[in-house]
Structure 1
Amino acid sequence: MEHDVRGVVRRSGAGIAGDVVEPLGRGLDNTAYLVDKAWVVRFPADPEALDVAREGRLLREVADVLRGIVAVPEPVFAAEGALGYRLLPGVPLMLRQPAPSITSTLAKTLLALHAQPVERFAGLVPVDADPPQLWLEETRAMAAELELPEAARFLEQEPPAPAERLVFSHNDLGAEHVLIDDGAVSGIIDWSDAAICDPAYDYGLLLRDLGAAAPPIPAELRDRALFYARCGLIEDLAYGVREYVEKSRRQAAWLFTRTGG
Protein backbone atom coordinates (compact mmCIF):
# COMPACT_ATOMS: atom_id res chain seq x y z
CA MET A 1 0.00 0.00 0.00
CA GLU A 2 1.39 3.37 -1.01
CA HIS A 3 0.25 5.28 2.10
CA ASP A 4 0.14 4.46 5.80
CA VAL A 5 -3.65 4.74 5.85
CA ARG A 6 -4.21 2.77 9.06
CA GLY A 7 -1.58 4.75 10.92
CA VAL A 8 -2.95 8.10 9.75
CA VAL A 9 -6.58 7.37 10.68
CA ARG A 10 -5.68 5.91 14.07
CA ARG A 11 -3.52 8.90 14.93
CA SER A 12 -6.10 11.40 13.66
CA GLY A 13 -8.25 11.30 16.78
CA ALA A 14 -11.40 10.92 14.66
CA GLY A 15 -12.33 7.59 16.25
CA ILE A 16 -11.93 5.57 13.04
CA ALA A 17 -10.74 2.00 13.67
CA GLY A 18 -8.98 1.58 10.33
CA ASP A 19 -9.36 -2.20 10.35
CA VAL A 20 -10.27 -2.58 6.67
CA VAL A 21 -8.54 -0.45 4.02
CA GLU A 22 -9.30 -0.78 0.31
CA PRO A 23 -8.08 1.27 -2.68
CA LEU A 24 -10.90 3.48 -3.91
CA GLY A 25 -9.36 5.30 -6.84
CA ARG A 26 -6.38 7.20 -8.15
CA GLY A 27 -6.53 10.39 -10.20
CA LEU A 28 -4.08 13.03 -11.29
CA ASP A 29 -4.60 14.98 -8.07
CA ASN A 30 -5.41 12.39 -5.39
CA THR A 31 -5.24 8.77 -4.25
CA ALA A 32 -8.30 7.70 -2.25
CA TYR A 33 -8.93 4.77 0.07
CA LEU A 34 -12.13 3.31 1.52
CA VAL A 35 -11.74 2.66 5.24
CA ASP A 36 -14.03 0.35 7.21
CA LYS A 37 -16.61 0.57 4.40
CA ALA A 38 -17.69 3.96 5.78
CA TRP A 39 -14.90 6.53 5.40
CA VAL A 40 -12.90 8.00 2.55
CA VAL A 41 -9.28 9.02 3.15
CA ARG A 42 -7.59 11.01 0.39
CA PHE A 43 -3.92 11.79 -0.11
CA PRO A 44 -2.97 14.50 -2.62
CA ALA A 45 -0.40 13.66 -5.24
CA ASP A 46 1.27 17.00 -4.52
CA PRO A 47 0.74 18.04 -0.89
CA GLU A 48 2.18 21.48 -1.61
CA ALA A 49 -0.38 22.10 -4.38
CA LEU A 50 -3.39 20.72 -2.47
CA ASP A 51 -3.55 21.84 1.15
CA VAL A 52 -5.89 19.39 2.88
CA ALA A 53 -6.46 21.67 5.86
CA ARG A 54 -7.57 24.43 3.50
CA GLU A 55 -9.80 22.00 1.61
CA GLY A 56 -11.34 20.89 4.89
CA ARG A 57 -12.26 24.49 5.70
CA LEU A 58 -13.64 24.92 2.20
CA LEU A 59 -15.84 21.83 2.47
CA ARG A 60 -17.31 23.08 5.74
CA GLU A 61 -18.20 26.39 4.10
CA VAL A 62 -19.74 24.63 1.10
CA ALA A 63 -21.73 22.29 3.36
CA ASP A 64 -23.16 25.33 5.12
CA VAL A 65 -24.14 26.96 1.80
CA LEU A 66 -25.78 23.80 0.44
CA ARG A 67 -27.41 22.54 3.63
CA GLY A 68 -30.96 21.47 2.81
CA ILE A 69 -30.14 21.22 -0.91
CA VAL A 70 -27.47 18.54 -1.32
CA ALA A 71 -24.78 16.84 0.74
CA VAL A 72 -21.05 17.33 0.25
CA PRO A 73 -18.19 15.48 1.94
CA GLU A 74 -17.79 16.91 5.44
CA PRO A 75 -14.29 16.25 6.78
CA VAL A 76 -13.68 14.57 10.12
CA PHE A 77 -9.92 15.14 10.04
CA ALA A 78 -7.16 16.78 8.03
CA ALA A 79 -3.82 15.49 9.26
CA GLU A 80 -0.47 14.20 7.99
CA GLY A 81 -1.30 15.32 4.47
CA ALA A 82 -4.57 13.34 4.37
CA LEU A 83 -8.22 14.37 4.38
CA GLY A 84 -10.81 12.03 5.90
CA TYR A 85 -14.59 12.22 5.51
CA ARG A 86 -17.63 9.96 5.73
CA LEU A 87 -18.47 8.09 2.53
CA LEU A 88 -21.53 9.54 0.79
CA PRO A 89 -24.04 7.02 -0.59
CA GLY A 90 -24.77 6.66 -4.28
CA VAL A 91 -23.17 6.12 -7.66
CA PRO A 92 -21.99 8.72 -10.20
CA LEU A 93 -24.60 10.20 -12.52
CA MET A 94 -22.25 9.44 -15.41
CA LEU A 95 -23.99 7.54 -18.24
CA ARG A 96 -27.40 7.74 -16.54
CA GLN A 97 -30.43 9.74 -17.61
CA PRO A 98 -31.40 12.11 -14.79
CA ALA A 99 -34.92 12.41 -13.46
CA PRO A 100 -36.46 15.91 -13.26
CA SER A 101 -35.85 15.96 -9.51
CA ILE A 102 -32.11 15.51 -10.12
CA THR A 103 -32.06 18.38 -12.60
CA SER A 104 -33.92 20.56 -10.10
CA THR A 105 -31.40 19.81 -7.34
CA LEU A 106 -28.47 20.67 -9.62
CA ALA A 107 -30.14 23.95 -10.60
CA LYS A 108 -30.66 24.88 -6.93
CA THR A 109 -27.06 23.95 -6.17
CA LEU A 110 -25.63 26.27 -8.80
CA LEU A 111 -27.94 29.13 -7.87
CA ALA A 112 -26.94 28.82 -4.20
CA LEU A 113 -23.21 28.69 -4.94
CA HIS A 114 -23.28 31.59 -7.38
CA ALA A 115 -25.26 33.76 -4.96
CA GLN A 116 -22.49 33.71 -2.34
CA PRO A 117 -20.28 36.76 -1.87
CA VAL A 118 -16.92 35.81 -3.31
CA GLU A 119 -15.25 37.35 -0.26
CA ARG A 120 -16.55 34.41 1.78
CA PHE A 121 -14.12 32.13 -0.06
CA ALA A 122 -11.11 34.46 -0.18
CA GLY A 123 -8.03 32.50 0.74
CA LEU A 124 -9.81 29.18 0.30
CA VAL A 125 -9.97 28.97 -3.51
CA PRO A 126 -8.07 30.58 -6.41
CA VAL A 127 -9.40 32.82 -9.15
CA ASP A 128 -9.77 30.90 -12.42
CA ALA A 129 -10.42 33.42 -15.17
CA ASP A 130 -8.77 32.10 -18.34
CA PRO A 131 -10.42 33.94 -21.26
CA PRO A 132 -12.50 32.01 -23.82
CA GLN A 133 -9.89 32.84 -26.47
CA LEU A 134 -7.34 30.74 -24.58
CA TRP A 135 -9.89 27.95 -24.18
CA LEU A 136 -10.51 27.93 -27.91
CA GLU A 137 -6.82 27.85 -28.78
CA GLU A 138 -6.24 24.87 -26.49
CA THR A 139 -9.36 23.12 -27.80
CA ARG A 140 -8.25 23.58 -31.40
CA ALA A 141 -4.93 21.93 -30.53
CA MET A 142 -6.71 18.95 -28.98
CA ALA A 143 -9.19 18.68 -31.85
CA ALA A 144 -6.35 18.45 -34.37
CA GLU A 145 -5.67 14.93 -33.06
CA LEU A 146 -9.32 13.82 -33.36
CA GLU A 147 -11.75 12.88 -36.09
CA LEU A 148 -14.71 15.07 -35.21
CA PRO A 149 -16.22 16.65 -38.33
CA GLU A 150 -19.22 17.88 -36.31
CA ALA A 151 -16.93 20.37 -34.55
CA ALA A 152 -15.37 21.97 -37.66
CA ARG A 153 -17.66 24.99 -37.77
CA PHE A 154 -17.37 25.60 -34.03
CA LEU A 155 -13.59 25.55 -34.16
CA GLU A 156 -13.57 28.23 -36.88
CA GLN A 157 -15.80 30.65 -34.97
CA GLU A 158 -14.72 33.45 -32.66
CA PRO A 159 -15.12 32.70 -28.94
CA PRO A 160 -17.67 34.55 -26.78
CA ALA A 161 -16.62 37.56 -24.72
CA PRO A 162 -15.20 36.85 -21.25
CA ALA A 163 -17.47 36.85 -18.22
CA GLU A 164 -18.13 40.25 -16.73
CA ARG A 165 -18.77 38.76 -13.28
CA LEU A 166 -17.01 35.88 -11.53
CA VAL A 167 -18.66 33.74 -8.85
CA PHE A 168 -17.78 30.94 -6.48
CA SER A 169 -18.49 27.54 -8.05
CA HIS A 170 -17.50 23.87 -8.03
CA ASN A 171 -15.62 24.51 -11.30
CA ASP A 172 -15.66 20.85 -12.37
CA LEU A 173 -19.32 19.87 -12.04
CA GLY A 174 -19.38 17.03 -14.52
CA ALA A 175 -21.74 14.09 -14.11
CA GLU A 176 -18.92 12.00 -12.61
CA HIS A 177 -18.96 14.25 -9.54
CA VAL A 178 -22.72 14.02 -8.95
CA LEU A 179 -23.82 11.03 -6.85
CA ILE A 180 -27.33 9.63 -7.13
CA ASP A 181 -29.10 7.19 -4.84
CA ASP A 182 -32.67 5.97 -5.11
CA GLY A 183 -33.44 8.45 -7.90
CA ALA A 184 -32.18 11.57 -6.10
CA VAL A 185 -28.92 13.48 -5.79
CA SER A 186 -27.17 12.07 -2.71
CA GLY A 187 -24.06 14.20 -2.89
CA ILE A 188 -21.61 16.30 -4.90
CA ILE A 189 -17.98 15.32 -4.53
CA ASP A 190 -14.47 16.43 -5.52
CA TRP A 191 -14.27 20.13 -4.70
CA SER A 192 -10.52 20.31 -5.27
CA ASP A 193 -10.95 22.57 -8.32
CA ALA A 194 -13.47 24.96 -6.74
CA ALA A 195 -12.68 28.54 -7.66
CA ILE A 196 -13.88 32.05 -8.28
CA CYS A 197 -14.73 31.56 -11.93
CA ASP A 198 -17.14 32.11 -14.81
CA PRO A 199 -20.67 31.11 -13.68
CA ALA A 200 -21.28 29.65 -17.15
CA TYR A 201 -18.62 26.97 -16.78
CA ASP A 202 -20.41 24.45 -14.55
CA TYR A 203 -23.62 24.97 -16.53
CA GLY A 204 -21.58 24.08 -19.60
CA LEU A 205 -20.24 20.86 -18.09
CA LEU A 206 -23.72 19.72 -17.14
CA LEU A 207 -24.97 20.59 -20.63
CA ARG A 208 -22.10 18.54 -22.08
CA ASP A 209 -22.98 15.52 -19.94
CA LEU A 210 -26.77 15.67 -19.61
CA GLY A 211 -27.85 17.30 -22.86
CA ALA A 212 -31.48 18.39 -22.87
CA ALA A 213 -31.85 17.15 -19.27
CA ALA A 214 -29.31 19.69 -17.96
CA PRO A 215 -30.51 22.45 -15.61
CA PRO A 216 -31.96 25.55 -17.29
CA ILE A 217 -29.20 28.03 -18.11
CA PRO A 218 -29.75 31.73 -17.33
CA ALA A 219 -30.11 33.66 -20.60
CA GLU A 220 -27.01 35.78 -20.07
CA LEU A 221 -24.86 32.65 -19.65
CA ARG A 222 -26.15 30.51 -22.52
CA ASP A 223 -23.62 31.37 -25.21
CA ARG A 224 -20.64 30.81 -22.92
CA ALA A 225 -22.16 27.67 -21.38
CA LEU A 226 -22.58 26.17 -24.84
CA PHE A 227 -19.02 27.20 -25.69
CA TYR A 228 -17.63 25.49 -22.56
CA ALA A 229 -19.78 22.41 -23.20
CA ARG A 230 -18.25 22.03 -26.65
CA CYS A 231 -14.71 22.61 -25.42
CA GLY A 232 -15.27 20.13 -22.61
CA LEU A 233 -16.61 17.49 -24.99
CA ILE A 234 -13.52 17.76 -27.17
CA GLU A 235 -11.32 17.54 -24.08
CA ASP A 236 -13.13 14.36 -23.01
CA LEU A 237 -12.53 12.80 -26.41
CA ALA A 238 -8.87 13.80 -26.37
CA TYR A 239 -8.37 12.50 -22.82
CA GLY A 240 -9.45 9.06 -23.98
CA VAL A 241 -11.09 7.56 -20.87
CA ARG A 242 -13.56 5.03 -22.24
CA GLU A 243 -16.64 6.15 -20.28
CA TYR A 244 -16.00 9.80 -21.16
CA VAL A 245 -15.44 9.00 -24.83
CA GLU A 246 -18.65 6.97 -25.07
CA LYS A 247 -20.66 9.72 -23.40
CA SER A 248 -19.19 12.47 -25.55
CA ARG A 249 -19.56 10.58 -28.82
CA ARG A 250 -23.27 10.22 -28.11
CA GLN A 251 -23.59 13.92 -27.34
CA ALA A 252 -21.45 15.32 -30.18
CA ALA A 253 -24.02 15.56 -32.97
CA TRP A 254 -26.63 17.13 -30.68
CA LEU A 255 -24.27 19.56 -29.00
CA PHE A 256 -22.60 20.88 -32.16
CA THR A 257 -25.92 21.58 -33.89
CA ARG A 258 -27.34 23.64 -31.02
CA THR A 259 -27.59 27.40 -31.51
CA GLY A 260 -27.34 28.38 -27.85
CA GLY A 261 -31.04 28.68 -27.04
Structure 2
Amino acid sequence: MDEVEVVVAHSERATLRVGDVFLKIDADQTNIDVEVEAMALAPVPTPEVLWRKPPVLAIAAVPGTALGVLGKPSPASPAAWAAAGEAIRTLHDAPLPPWQGPNLDEITSKLDAECDWLIKSGTLPADLVTRNREVAEAALRPWIPVFAHGDLQITHIFVDDDDKVTGIIDWSEASRRDPLYDLAILTLGHEECLPDLLAGYATDVDVDIIQGWWSLRSLQASRWLVQHGFDPNSPGCEFDVLRARM
Protein backbone atom coordinates (compact mmCIF):
# COMPACT_ATOMS: atom_id res chain seq x y z
CA MET A 1 0.00 0.00 0.00
CA ASP A 2 1.33 3.45 -0.93
CA GLU A 3 2.23 5.74 1.94
CA VAL A 4 0.70 9.19 2.34
CA GLU A 5 3.33 11.88 1.76
CA VAL A 6 2.70 15.43 2.95
CA VAL A 7 4.09 17.57 0.15
CA VAL A 8 3.14 20.90 1.73
CA ALA A 9 0.82 21.85 4.55
CA HIS A 10 -0.08 25.17 6.16
CA SER A 11 -3.20 27.01 7.29
CA GLU A 12 -4.31 27.92 3.74
CA ARG A 13 -3.83 24.66 1.88
CA ALA A 14 -2.30 21.21 1.95
CA THR A 15 -1.06 18.86 -0.76
CA LEU A 16 -0.78 15.12 -0.16
CA ARG A 17 0.69 12.45 -2.41
CA VAL A 18 -0.48 8.85 -2.50
CA GLY A 19 1.39 6.90 -5.18
CA ASP A 20 0.91 8.75 -8.46
CA VAL A 21 -2.03 10.82 -7.20
CA PHE A 22 -1.83 14.26 -5.62
CA LEU A 23 -4.66 15.49 -3.41
CA LYS A 24 -4.87 19.26 -3.12
CA ILE A 25 -6.99 20.63 -0.27
CA ASP A 26 -7.65 24.37 -0.34
CA ALA A 27 -9.71 26.50 2.01
CA ASP A 28 -10.45 28.92 -0.84
CA GLN A 29 -12.21 27.13 -3.67
CA THR A 30 -11.51 30.08 -5.97
CA ASN A 31 -7.89 28.90 -6.09
CA ILE A 32 -8.98 25.47 -7.25
CA ASP A 33 -11.39 26.99 -9.79
CA VAL A 34 -8.51 28.97 -11.28
CA GLU A 35 -6.20 25.98 -11.27
CA VAL A 36 -8.63 23.70 -13.09
CA GLU A 37 -9.57 26.29 -15.71
CA ALA A 38 -5.97 27.41 -16.26
CA MET A 39 -4.80 23.84 -16.85
CA ALA A 40 -7.60 23.36 -19.37
CA LEU A 41 -6.62 26.52 -21.26
CA ALA A 42 -2.83 26.29 -21.12
CA PRO A 43 -1.15 25.10 -24.37
CA VAL A 44 1.62 23.32 -22.44
CA PRO A 45 1.76 19.95 -20.63
CA THR A 46 -0.25 20.04 -17.38
CA PRO A 47 -1.37 17.37 -14.87
CA GLU A 48 -4.46 15.31 -15.62
CA VAL A 49 -7.42 16.17 -13.41
CA LEU A 50 -8.70 12.87 -12.00
CA TRP A 51 -11.64 14.13 -9.98
CA ARG A 52 -12.82 17.04 -7.87
CA LYS A 53 -14.92 17.00 -4.74
CA PRO A 54 -14.59 20.29 -2.83
CA PRO A 55 -12.46 21.03 -0.98
CA VAL A 56 -10.28 18.33 -2.64
CA LEU A 57 -8.81 18.24 -6.14
CA ALA A 58 -7.14 15.02 -7.30
CA ILE A 59 -4.56 15.23 -10.08
CA ALA A 60 -2.15 12.74 -11.60
CA ALA A 61 1.59 13.06 -11.12
CA VAL A 62 3.44 14.29 -14.19
CA PRO A 63 6.42 12.29 -15.47
CA GLY A 64 9.98 13.52 -15.30
CA THR A 65 11.97 15.46 -12.73
CA ALA A 66 11.65 19.05 -11.52
CA LEU A 67 14.23 21.53 -12.80
CA GLY A 68 15.50 21.77 -9.22
CA VAL A 69 14.73 23.16 -5.79
CA LEU A 70 15.30 26.56 -4.26
CA GLY A 71 18.54 26.72 -2.29
CA LYS A 72 20.39 24.04 -4.25
CA PRO A 73 22.12 24.07 -7.66
CA SER A 74 19.84 22.95 -10.47
CA PRO A 75 20.75 19.48 -11.79
CA ALA A 76 19.00 20.23 -15.09
CA SER A 77 21.03 20.70 -18.26
CA PRO A 78 21.20 23.95 -20.26
CA ALA A 79 19.02 22.22 -22.89
CA ALA A 80 16.37 21.51 -20.26
CA TRP A 81 16.35 25.13 -19.19
CA ALA A 82 16.06 26.21 -22.81
CA ALA A 83 13.12 23.82 -23.24
CA ALA A 84 11.49 25.42 -20.21
CA GLY A 85 11.97 28.83 -21.81
CA GLU A 86 10.33 27.61 -25.01
CA ALA A 87 7.36 26.23 -23.07
CA ILE A 88 6.93 29.49 -21.18
CA ARG A 89 7.02 31.44 -24.44
CA THR A 90 4.28 29.14 -25.79
CA LEU A 91 2.16 29.92 -22.73
CA HIS A 92 2.79 33.64 -22.98
CA ASP A 93 1.81 33.64 -26.67
CA ALA A 94 -1.55 31.96 -25.90
CA PRO A 95 -4.85 33.86 -25.63
CA LEU A 96 -5.32 35.64 -22.33
CA PRO A 97 -7.33 33.88 -19.61
CA PRO A 98 -10.73 35.48 -18.98
CA TRP A 99 -9.81 36.69 -15.47
CA GLN A 100 -7.55 39.55 -14.48
CA GLY A 101 -4.35 39.52 -12.45
CA PRO A 102 -3.03 41.97 -9.84
CA ASN A 103 -2.59 45.49 -11.17
CA LEU A 104 0.38 47.78 -10.72
CA ASP A 105 -1.18 49.80 -7.90
CA GLU A 106 -2.05 46.65 -5.94
CA ILE A 107 1.45 45.23 -6.35
CA THR A 108 3.10 48.51 -5.32
CA SER A 109 0.87 48.95 -2.27
CA LYS A 110 1.50 45.40 -1.06
CA LEU A 111 5.25 45.73 -1.64
CA ASP A 112 5.45 48.90 0.43
CA ALA A 113 3.44 47.31 3.25
CA GLU A 114 5.77 44.30 3.30
CA CYS A 115 8.89 46.47 3.29
CA ASP A 116 7.48 48.43 6.22
CA TRP A 117 6.83 45.20 8.15
CA LEU A 118 10.28 43.78 7.44
CA ILE A 119 11.93 46.90 8.84
CA LYS A 120 9.65 47.50 11.84
CA SER A 121 9.70 43.84 12.88
CA GLY A 122 13.48 43.74 12.71
CA THR A 123 13.33 40.79 10.33
CA LEU A 124 15.81 42.42 7.94
CA PRO A 125 18.15 45.43 8.19
CA ALA A 126 16.62 48.66 6.92
CA ASP A 127 19.42 49.28 4.42
CA LEU A 128 18.90 45.84 2.85
CA VAL A 129 15.17 46.42 2.49
CA THR A 130 15.65 49.93 1.15
CA ARG A 131 18.22 48.86 -1.43
CA ASN A 132 16.02 46.05 -2.71
CA ARG A 133 12.98 48.35 -2.81
CA GLU A 134 15.04 50.54 -5.14
CA VAL A 135 15.94 47.55 -7.33
CA ALA A 136 12.28 46.45 -7.36
CA GLU A 137 11.28 49.78 -8.89
CA ALA A 138 12.47 48.52 -12.29
CA ALA A 139 9.63 45.98 -12.30
CA LEU A 140 6.99 48.56 -11.35
CA ARG A 141 6.20 49.86 -14.81
CA PRO A 142 3.34 49.31 -17.28
CA TRP A 143 3.47 45.98 -19.14
CA ILE A 144 1.53 44.16 -21.83
CA PRO A 145 -0.15 41.29 -19.95
CA VAL A 146 0.17 37.66 -21.05
CA PHE A 147 -1.24 34.33 -19.94
CA ALA A 148 1.13 33.83 -17.01
CA HIS A 149 1.52 30.90 -14.63
CA GLY A 150 1.96 33.28 -11.71
CA ASP A 151 3.88 30.93 -9.39
CA LEU A 152 6.44 29.37 -11.71
CA GLN A 153 8.85 28.13 -9.06
CA ILE A 154 11.71 25.86 -10.10
CA THR A 155 9.88 22.89 -8.54
CA HIS A 156 6.88 23.45 -10.80
CA ILE A 157 8.42 22.57 -14.20
CA PHE A 158 9.27 18.94 -14.96
CA VAL A 159 11.54 17.62 -17.71
CA ASP A 160 12.51 14.14 -18.89
CA ASP A 161 15.88 12.60 -19.72
CA ASP A 162 15.61 13.98 -23.25
CA ASP A 163 15.35 17.54 -21.89
CA LYS A 164 11.70 17.88 -22.89
CA VAL A 165 9.12 19.59 -20.68
CA THR A 166 6.74 16.90 -19.42
CA GLY A 167 4.55 18.95 -17.13
CA ILE A 168 3.97 22.29 -15.42
CA ILE A 169 2.11 22.11 -12.10
CA ASP A 170 0.40 24.35 -9.51
CA TRP A 171 -1.71 26.78 -11.55
CA SER A 172 -3.76 28.40 -8.77
CA GLU A 173 -2.14 31.82 -9.32
CA ALA A 174 -2.42 31.84 -13.12
CA SER A 175 -3.72 35.13 -14.49
CA ARG A 176 -2.88 38.04 -16.75
CA ARG A 177 0.57 39.25 -15.69
CA ASP A 178 3.88 40.69 -16.78
CA PRO A 179 5.68 37.94 -18.76
CA LEU A 180 8.96 38.77 -17.05
CA TYR A 181 7.42 37.87 -13.70
CA ASP A 182 7.26 34.20 -14.70
CA LEU A 183 10.86 34.26 -15.92
CA ALA A 184 12.00 35.88 -12.68
CA ILE A 185 10.20 33.48 -10.36
CA LEU A 186 11.63 30.46 -12.19
CA THR A 187 15.19 31.78 -11.88
CA LEU A 188 14.88 33.14 -8.32
CA GLY A 189 18.03 31.97 -6.57
CA HIS A 190 19.27 30.42 -9.83
CA GLU A 191 20.55 33.47 -11.66
CA GLU A 192 23.16 31.37 -13.45
CA CYS A 193 20.37 29.57 -15.35
CA LEU A 194 18.80 32.74 -16.76
CA PRO A 195 20.85 32.81 -20.01
CA ASP A 196 19.82 29.25 -20.89
CA LEU A 197 16.18 30.00 -20.07
CA LEU A 198 16.23 33.12 -22.24
CA ALA A 199 17.85 31.18 -25.09
CA GLY A 200 14.73 29.03 -25.22
CA TYR A 201 12.37 31.93 -24.60
CA ALA A 202 13.85 33.45 -27.76
CA THR A 203 12.97 37.09 -27.31
CA ASP A 204 14.90 40.04 -25.95
CA VAL A 205 14.16 40.91 -22.33
CA ASP A 206 15.39 43.59 -19.96
CA VAL A 207 17.40 41.78 -17.28
CA ASP A 208 17.12 44.82 -14.97
CA ILE A 209 13.37 44.17 -14.85
CA ILE A 210 13.90 40.51 -14.00
CA GLN A 211 16.28 41.57 -11.22
CA GLY A 212 13.57 43.95 -10.04
CA TRP A 213 11.10 41.07 -9.83
CA TRP A 214 13.67 38.97 -7.91
CA SER A 215 13.86 41.68 -5.27
CA LEU A 216 10.14 42.38 -5.30
CA ARG A 217 9.13 38.74 -4.95
CA SER A 218 11.63 38.14 -2.14
CA LEU A 219 10.51 41.22 -0.22
CA GLN A 220 6.85 40.46 -0.73
CA ALA A 221 7.01 36.78 0.19
CA SER A 222 9.25 36.94 3.27
CA ARG A 223 6.62 37.72 5.91
CA TRP A 224 4.28 34.99 4.63
CA LEU A 225 7.12 32.47 4.66
CA VAL A 226 8.18 33.36 8.19
CA GLN A 227 4.60 33.24 9.51
CA HIS A 228 3.85 29.89 7.86
CA GLY A 229 6.86 28.00 9.16
CA PHE A 230 9.24 28.37 6.21
CA ASP A 231 12.76 29.81 6.44
CA PRO A 232 13.62 32.45 3.83
CA ASN A 233 17.05 32.70 5.46
CA SER A 234 18.05 29.20 4.31
CA PRO A 235 21.09 29.17 1.99
CA GLY A 236 20.19 30.24 -1.54
CA CYS A 237 16.69 31.35 -0.60
CA GLU A 238 14.92 34.72 -0.45
CA PHE A 239 17.18 36.52 2.02
CA ASP A 240 20.26 35.50 0.03
CA VAL A 241 18.56 36.79 -3.12
CA LEU A 242 18.08 40.12 -1.37
CA ARG A 243 21.65 40.22 -0.08
CA ALA A 244 22.96 39.61 -3.60
CA ARG A 245 21.59 43.00 -4.65
CA MET A 246 23.75 44.88 -2.10
TM score, norm. by length of structure 2:
0.75
Structure scoring higher RCO (CA < 8 A, sep ≥ 6) equals: 2
Name 2:73's counterpart in structure 1.
Answer: 96
Is residue 2:150 matched to residue 1:189? no
Distance 1:57 1:153 in 2: 39
Segments of 4+ moved more than 6 angstroms? none
Cα deviations across residues 52-85 of structure 1 (Å, max 9, x unaligned)?
4x532321222xx11xxxx321212223432222
Match of 2:236 among 223, 234, 247: 247
Root mean square deviation, CA, Å: 3.1
Q: 1:39 to 1:207 in 2, by over 3 A?
A: closer
Is residue 2:24 matched to residue 1:42? yes
Q: Which residue identity lines up with residue 96 of structure 1 in the other structure? A: P
Q: Which residue identity lines up with residue 34 of structure 1 in the other structure? A: R
Q: Which residue identity lines up with residue 226 of structure 1 in the other structure? A: Q
Q: 1:30 to 1:153 in 2, by over 3 A?
A: closer
**SS of residue paired to 1:233:** helix
Q: Report the alpha carbon displacement of residue 197 of structure 1 after superposing the two structures with TM.
A: 1.0
Question: What number of residue pairs does the alignment pair up?
Answer: 225
Q: Max radius of gyration: which structure?
A: 1
Match of 2:189 among 209, 215, 225: 209
**SS of residue paired to 1:159:** helix
Q: Which structure 1 residue ranges, 5 or more long, are not aligned?
A: 1-18
Cα deviations across residues 195-246 of structure 1 (Å, max 9, x unaligned)?
1111121112123231121222754543322111112233455424237732
Q: 1:84 to 1:157 in 2, by over 3 A?
A: closer
Match of 1:164 among 134, 139, 143: 143
Whether the 8 Å CA contact 1:177–1:190 is kept in 2: the answer is yes
Q: Which residue identity lines up with residue 246 of structure 1 in the other structure? A: P
Q: Report the alpha carbon displacement of residue 170 of structure 1 after superposing the two structures with TM.
A: 0.4
Name 2:101's counterpart in structure 1.
Answer: 127
Q: Which structure 2 residue ranges, 5 or more long, are not aligned?
A: none
Is residue 2:217 matched to residue 1:232? yes
Whether the 8 Å CA contact 2:25–2:55 is kept in 1: the answer is yes
